[in-house]
Amino acid sequence: MGALASWVVLAAVMGQSSAPYVRSRVSPGDETTQCLYWTQTRVNWQQSTVGNPKATNHTEFDAITRSFQSWQDIFASCGNLSLVEGSRVNSRTVGYNRSGDNINLILFRGRACRDVVDANDACFSQDTCANTYDCWDDSDGTIAITLTTYDERTGVVYDSDISFNAARFNFTTGNGGPCGIVATPDCVDTDVQNTATHEVGHFVGLDHTLATNSTMNPSAPPGETSKRTIDSGSRNFVCVAYPKGSASQPCFPVPGGNGNGNGNGDGDGSGDGDGCTAATGGLAVLPLLAAASLLARRRRGAR
C-alpha cells in the first residue's frame, strides 16, 4: 500500500499519465502549453554513415529503417506526413543550426565524453562536448535521446535528432531470447528496433505514457522487443494529431496560424534541455532529457 501510494505521488510529480497516448508539450507535462507537431508534409531523416561503432555486421541500419517504417505505415493509412529516409550522411552533429544543413540525424555515440575529453574542457559547462568530440554526454544510464527543436509559441517542430548511447549499452538486433549469463549470437540485450521505435515516437511528438504495452511506456527491460510493434494508442495519436487530408493539429489554436513559425530562435541546438522558460517566439531545445532519464532509471533498476 505504501509503495502504491508513493508510486501515485511520483507519477503525479513527474506528470506521468496512463492515457493511451500523451503528446509532447512546449513545457513537458504542462497541459496549459502547446503540443509539438510537424507541419510539413514530408520529413526527411538520415542515418550517420558510422552506424553503431561497436557493431560488427551493422544490422542496426536496417533495424532503424524498420522502426521508422512502422510509423510510416500508420501515417500512410491515416496520417498526413511522410517520413522519408535519405542517404546516409557523414554529419555527427545533432541539434538545430539555422545556417547549417538541418538534417534529422540518427546516430550512435560510441564513447563517453568523460573518457575522451579533459575534465576542465569548457564544453562540459557549455554543453557542447557531444558534437565537438563526438561522444555521449548525457547520463550513463540513458539509452537514447531524442533532441527536438521547436517554436515555443506555436509548437511547430523544426528538427529532431536521435542519439544512441553505444558507449554504455550493448545494442543488439537479434530475435533470440534475452541474453543470459552466456550470450548467444542471436540474443537480445538492448534491442535497436525496440529502442528506435520508441524514440521515433518522440520524434513525431509523443511523450511517455504509463499505459501498459505502449511503445511509449518508459519502462523497457533488457531483452525487450515488444516496442517494435506500435500499440493502438500510439497509432491513434497519428490519426488524431496528423489527420489524413488535413493540417496537423495543435492542442489549442495558434495565434496567427501555425504555418508561419518565426524562425527567430537562437538555434544553438546544444541540448541543455532548458526549453521551459519560454521567451516568446524563440526556438527551444525540447527537454526530453528528464523523461529519458526516467526511462533509463527504470531500465537500470530492472537489471
| Distance of closest approach, residue 125 Cβ to Zn ion, in angstroms | 26
- Cβ-defined contacts of 168-172 (< 8 Å, 24+): 168/112, 168/136, 168/140, 168/141, 169/143, 170/54, 171/52, 171/54, 171/55, 171/60, 171/108, 171/195
Number of residues near Zn ion (by CB under 5 A) = 1
Number of helical H runs and strand E runs in the chain: 8, 10
Nearer to Zn ion, 97 or 139 (CB): 139
| Distance of closest approach, residue 297 Cβ to Zn ion, in angstroms | 12
| Distance of closest approach, residue 38 Cβ to Zn ion, in angstroms | 18
Residues 21-60 touching Zn ion, rule: CB under 5 A, are none
Residues 137-196 touching Zn ion, rule: CB under 5 A, are none
Q: Considering only CA atoms, which of 160, 225, 145, 167 is closest in space to residue 192? A: 225
Residues 256-295 touching Zn ion, rule: CB under 5 A, are 295
Q: At what angle do helices 60-78 and 192-203 cross, to 10 degrees?
A: 40
Contact 83, 123 (CB under 8 A): no
| Distance of closest approach, residue 35 Cβ to Zn ion, in angstroms | 16
Nearer to Zn ion, 123 or 295 (CB): 295
Contact 95, 270 (CB under 8 A): yes
Nearer to Zn ion, 219 or 262 (CB): 219
Nearer to Zn ion, 154 or 159 (CB): 159
| Distance of closest approach, residue 94 Cβ to Zn ion, in angstroms | 16
Nearer to Zn ion, 162 or 295 (CB): 295
- If you search the block for the grid coordinates 505514457, which residue do you land on? 209
Q: Which residue is nearest to Zn ion (CB)?
A: 295
Q: How far apart are CA 66 and CA 83, in angstroms?
A: 12
Contact 175, 184 (CB under 8 A): no
Q: How far apart are CA 233 and CA 264, in angstroms?
A: 35
| Distance of closest approach, residue 141 Cβ to Zn ion, in angstroms | 13
Nearer to Zn ion, 211 or 295 (CB): 295
| Distance of closest approach, residue 177 Cβ to Zn ion, in angstroms | 24
Interstrand relation of 144-151 and 283-285 (parallel, antiparallel or unpaired): antiparallel
Nearer to Zn ion, 130 or 295 (CB): 295
- Binding residues for Zn ion, rule: CB under 5 A, are 295
